[in-house]
Structure formats: structure tokens, C-alpha cells
Structure 1
Amino acid sequence: MLNIAILIPAAGASSRMRGLDKLTENIDGLPLLRRQALRAKATGAHVAVTLPDWNHPRAAVLQGLPVQVIEVPDSDLGMSASIRRGVGFLPRDITAVVILPADMPEIETEDIQKLIQSFQSTPYPMLQQATTEDGTPGHPVLFPADCFMALQTLTGDHGAREILRMNAHRLRHVVLPGRRALIDLDTPEAWTAWREAHKDTCLIG
């Protein structure tokens, strides 16, 4: 197994879905969260998933998968709570963490591998951020281990933007096909539009 971790923050309330849970919506016959975890596992990296608690319905969609599930009791404080707790509970020998949003259905295993390979190819630890083909920054993002302390002090719901800004001098952009690095589905309207656009290529239900 790689000594790199992939952290999937999945402890949010899915509040913009108006009563539905975006992470249990089906794509290719699988709940989105399980599909994302499988794609992460296929890289050979350690995979950790944050959940509001171990009895949350999302835990059922991960059943049987060899992933680390991390409870986030203060998940109502936003994305930073998932990142703080997730990074804090990673195995001690991890040299970098890829933060992979759970609601990005177009991210493929090879996209995650591109970030990992780019990190491994540099002579000193560099942050790696996925971009679209036109250069727009997006996700996933890889943080070397020397960023872990900063990740564990994040607050609010803005992810790790400030850490990226402070480390701009050692930030490498990794281009992914199309707009994969930006496509997320967090409203019913976004799901409807995405499903319509992919009705000929995905088994969606």
C-alpha cells in the first residue's frame, strides 16, 4: 500500500439537497459515496472517510470496504471539521494526503493517480492541485505531511484555501480532462442536469 492517504470528507449535512442525501444518490448502480471510495481504493493508497457518526446511514454504503471511517462529532462546524479530524486520525507513516470531495462524480482513479505521481516525481514535497483543461483550479488537492499541522487548525467551511495561498510558491497544478476538477453535485438541480447530460453513458438511478 502507498504511504499516501486519500481523505474523503463525507460528514456534511447535504443541506442544499432539500431533504435528499447527495452521497447516497446512485450512479452506475452504486451510491456516490461508495463509488468514490472504490475509485480511491483502486489507487493503492490508504483511504479514510469522515462521517457525522458511525451509525449514520452513509456508513451502510461503505459496508465491506477496507476504508478507515472517522467520526466527526462537530461536523456542523463545516468542512474544516472533517479535514481537522480526518487528518488527525491518519496513520503516522503517511507522507501526503489527497483531499477528495465526495460529491465529484467525474473524478476517476487515474485522476487521483496523476496527483500522486506528480508528487512522487518532485525532489522535494510540493502541493498538487487539480485544474480543468483551461487552468481553473479545483479538486482533488494533495498536501504533503508538513502541511498536516496547518490542516488540523482549519476553521469554517472554506476548506484549505488559505494553506494553498500560503504555499503558492510550491504549488503544482495537475491538469485533468474537461471540467472534472470542478463538477460537483450538491443540489437537486445539479443532479438533474448532470444526469440528463450523461444519460447515454451512465447507469443512473
Structure 2
Amino acid sequence: MTQSDTNGLEAVVLAAGRGVRFGGGKLLALLDDAPLVAHALRTALLSPVRRVFVAVADPAVRAAVETTARRLKASERLVVVPVESADEGMGASLRTAAAALPDDTTAVFVFLGDMPAIDPATPTLLARALKSPHDIVAPLHLGRRGHPVLFGATWLPALRTLSGDEGARALLENAGARLARIPVHDPGIHLDVDRPEDLARAIEGR
């Protein structure tokens, strides 16, 4: 993308899940003395985007997100999006966040709040690889697709109609040649924290 195009990039961080497999409180679990969600938010804020829209349901997670943004001196770039239908699943969170994006959005990154180890350089590589508003760009490591995923503006209407618990997976599976897979040297695109042992693995990898 050109420099002028990046002015319309936004990011979404999905942080409205209850973390049932973790036993609850997942996004507030500590990693390097900071809540898990703080790491995903930091990477999103370091991406070449105007703002970061964080989908939240738990007031405690919202407080952690706002505290993190203040600590990073980035409060003006944070938009908190309350999700009233979070129990419906990830699709509802992404739908709600996508609906909050401004009309001049040229593309949007989708980050997951439970992925703390993505290299901040990866989103920049993805942004450079987006050639058309009709495209989707995803990182690839060791032959496997990961996160974040960058959706061109043409996909926003579809993101705004999602439902269920699989997020945008069906869009990716049906994108065909519109999905560009960009090789990266970043194992963090696969490290999501679903269970306590995943968090222990993340801590060991620091």
C-alpha cells in the first residue's frame, strides 16, 4: 500500500471472550507483569494504523485496556467497543467492532486478545502486501496461516454480518485467490492462550 493508503488503516482487537477453557479471567492473567490483553493491544498500537478498536464485554478487561493505552501514551488512538452479545461468540464481537469502524476505513487488522507474542514487524509486512481493497492478507509461518489478518475495505460489509463462534474463518476459506498468504519469520502468529498451560508456554518462551 502507499503511504496515503495507510492513513485509512484501522485495527480491531477481539477481547470480549470469557476464556472458558482457561477457567475464566484469561485476558487478565499476568504475562511479564501485565495483563495478557495488554500484549495484543501493544502490538496493535505499534501497527501502521490510525486507531485500535477493542471489543470488550468485561468491565475489568475494559479497565485493563484503558490503563494499558494510558501507559503507552496512546489513549487518543484507543476506541473501546462494548459487546452486549458476547456470549454469541467471536462472530458477534467482530461484527460489533466492524460496525464501529469509520466509513473511510481502507483496511482493518483483526487481532485476537489472547495472542501475546506477535512480532510488531508482522503487521507492517502485511500492510505492505495489501494491493487491493478486495484482498485479504494473512501471515504464514511453517506453512500454517496465523494472525493478525488484514481485510481490505470490500470485506467490511461481510465482517459486519458475522455470527456464531468462528469469527471470519468462513470468509478466509472462501476468499480463494483474494487471500494472500505472506511468509513471516514469526512463530508468535500461532501462539494463542486458550488454557493455563498455553500461558506457561508463553512465559517459558520469553
Q: Give the shorter-chain TM-score range.
A: 0.7 to 0.9
Q: Which residue of 1 aligns with 2:136?
A: 127
Per-residue deviation, residues 152-177 of structure 1 (Å, max 9, x unmatched): 11121111121112211111111222
Q: Which residue of 2 aligns with 1:166?
A: 174
Alignment of 1:69 onto 2:80: yes
Residue 102 of structure 2, aligned match among 91, 94, 111 = 91
CA RMSD of aligned residues (A): 1.7
For residue 140 of structure 2, what is the amino acid of its counterpart? T
For residue 139 of structure 2, what is the amino acid of its counterpart? A
Q: Which residue of 2 aligns with 1:57?
A: 60
Alignment of 1:8 onto 2:25: no
**Percent of pairs identical after alignment?**
30
CA distance in 1, matches of 2:138, 2:185: 14
Could you tell me which runs of 5 or more consecutive residues in structure 1 were left unpaired when the two chains were aligned. Answer: none
Alignment of 1:137 onto 2:145: yes
For residue 188 of structure 2, what is the amino acid of its counterpart? R
CA distance in 2, matches of 1:170, 1:73: 32
* TM-score of the pair, normalised by structure 2: 0.86
CA distance in 2, matches of 1:28, 1:2: 32
CA distance in 1, matches of 2:79, 2:164: 24
For residue 57 of structure 1, what is the amino acid of its counterpart? A
CA distance in 1, matches of 2:106, 2:8: 6
Deviates more, 1:75-84 or 1:161-170: 161-170
For residue 119 of structure 2, what is the amino acid of its counterpart? E
Distance verdict in 2 for CA 1:6–1:104, change over 3 Å: same
* TM-score of the pair, normalised by structure 1: 0.87
For residue 93 of structure 2, what is the amino acid of its counterpart? S
CA distance in 1, matches of 2:186, 2:9: 26
Distance verdict in 2 for CA 1:194–1:146, change over 3 Å: same
For residue 9 of structure 1, what is the amino acid of its counterpart? L
Distance verdict in 2 for CA 1:15–1:118, change over 3 Å: same
Where in structure 2 are the equivalents of 1:165-184 lying within 5 Å? 165-184=173-192
Q: Tell me the secondary structure at the aligned position of residue 9 of structure 1.
A: strand
Q: Would you say the 8 A contact 2:133–2:154 is kept in 1?
A: no
CA distance in 2, matches of 1:22, 1:92: 33
Q: Which residue of 2 aligns with 1:80?
A: 91
Higher helix share: 2
Q: Tell me the secondary structure at the aligned position of residue 50 of structure 1.
A: strand
Q: What is the CA-CA distance between 1:76 and the residue it aligns to?
A: 0.2
Q: Tell me the secondary structure at the aligned position of residue 105 of structure 2.
A: coil
Count of matched residue pairs? 192
CA distance in 2, matches of 1:137, 1:85: 24
Q: What is the CA-CA distance between 1:86 and the residue it aligns to?
A: 0.3
